[in-house]
Amino acid sequence: MQQCVTTEKIPLCLWSDDLDPEALAQARNLANLPCAFHHVALMADAHVGYGMPIGGVFATVDAVIPNAVGVDIGCGMQAVQTGLARVAPAACKKIVTQLRKSIPLGFQHHKIPQQQASMPRIPAGPDLPVLVSEFERARYQLGTLGGGNHFLELQQGSDNHVYLMVHSGSRNLGYQVATYYNKAASRLAGEQQEMIPKSWQLALLPLCSDLGQHYLAEMEYCVAFAWANRRMMMQIFQEIVTDVTGCDQFHAPLDVAHNYAALEKHFGSHVWVHRKGATRAGADELGIIPGSQGSSSFIVRGLGNPQSFCSCSHGAGRVLGRKEARRKLDFKTEVARLNSRKILHSLRRQSDLDEAPGAYKDIGQVIDNQRDLITVVTRLEPLAVVKG
């Protein structure tokens, strides 16, 4: 841990040594919520988000907060170790070309819906309003990457194996669930005149309410959908690698989500742990911490540190906002940085600077700041990157 702030209702435990003031203010708001439990943990990659900082871990009693999970519910990483020791640059280019043809990127969806059997099972019980309205549209989005910081990446492991990695989430389904229940929570707060300022963007849903239970059910469906989405893309990725290289050896996937709430036991109590851009890191539990498209990613093993609610960072974390990055970063400098490492990258135009290496924190420092949370198992260097 880098520092502990004790000026609020409960402490703030920080693993970041360069937390921006706005993110710290959001963490102070969390600490003063009526449902807040024990302390707030901010990971080494923490930065400002909507309501709660991204890279935050927050536990609640008898309540759930949609904005403490975020809009891309279930977003996470999937990594697969291959039987390849190396991939030639020409093969990398062929793999990237086929990925771009086979997997819809950005706002693109499939032209026909995916089979209903590929979708997660709809939970029994009362109708869930967002799932009912969005289910058919979600079938067109299953197996699609999305935009922002989502990516498909071919990597060289320090263990002398080539890896495949996918970063994606629940697409528009998660966004619709998050938006619907955050609005519902805001209306409920207004009716009950809760002592939570609207400007905090942290309206809560009591778990004794139908709304709270419905949110949990729809959130858990989004987590399952996000997993299925990554798995479908990974299967396509593996087929392309086989087609290009002849490799047919792939280990079982390692998959970790980093946007969700889960009922867990900490400090002697069962509480709802909200991880918004944070990875669970229980004792001996494997996780994935990706860097930017120009830096290393890591397979890590958790140490089960209770002060982080058994969590670690979910990535490098932004140092510049998207608009700020496009305005401040130099395109030629960022491209040269990637080219010098011979990475087949996705920085093609000025508008792509929001995902340039310079927009992110130093992943090496982020890893060093959480040595009490994880140990590194495998270091992964980028070879080729596809982004939305």
**pLDDT tens by residue, 128-184:** 999 999 999 999 999 999 999 999 999 999 999 999 999 999 999 999 999 999 999
Give the confidence band of 123 by pLDDT, cuts at 50, 70, 90: confident
Mean pLDDT computed over every residue of the chain: 95
At 252 the three-state DSSP class reads coil
Which class does domain 3-319+360-387 fall in?
alpha beta
Contact 106, 388 (CB under 8 A): yes
The pTM of the full predicted model, rounded to 2 decimals, is 0.96
**Is 80 exceeded by the pLDDT of residue 11?**
yes
What is the predicted pLDDT for the residue at 346? 87
**pLDDT tens by residue, 336-357:** 989 888 888 988 889 899 999 9
Mean pLDDT in residue range 58-71: 98
**pLDDT tens by residue, 216-244:** 999 999 999 999 999 999 999 999 999 99
Read out DSSP for 121-183? Answer: PPPSSS--HHHHHHHHHHHHHTT---STT-EEEEEEETTS-EEEEEEE--HHHHHHHHHHHHH
- The residue ranges of every structural domain in the chain are 3-319+360-387
Nearest residue to 298 via CA among 355, 222, 379, 358: 379
What is the predicted pLDDT for the residue at 192? 63
Catalytic pick from 39, 150, 167, 314?
314
What is the predicted pLDDT for the residue at 193? 60
**Where is 24: in which H helix or E strand?**
helix 21-31
What is the predicted pLDDT for the residue at 194? 66
Residue 110 annotated to the active site? no
What is the predicted pLDDT for the residue at 45? 96
Give the confidence band of 77 by pLDDT, cuts at 50, 70, 90: very high
What is the predicted pLDDT for the residue at 188? 87
Give the confidence band of 57 by pLDDT, cuts at 50, 70, 90: very high
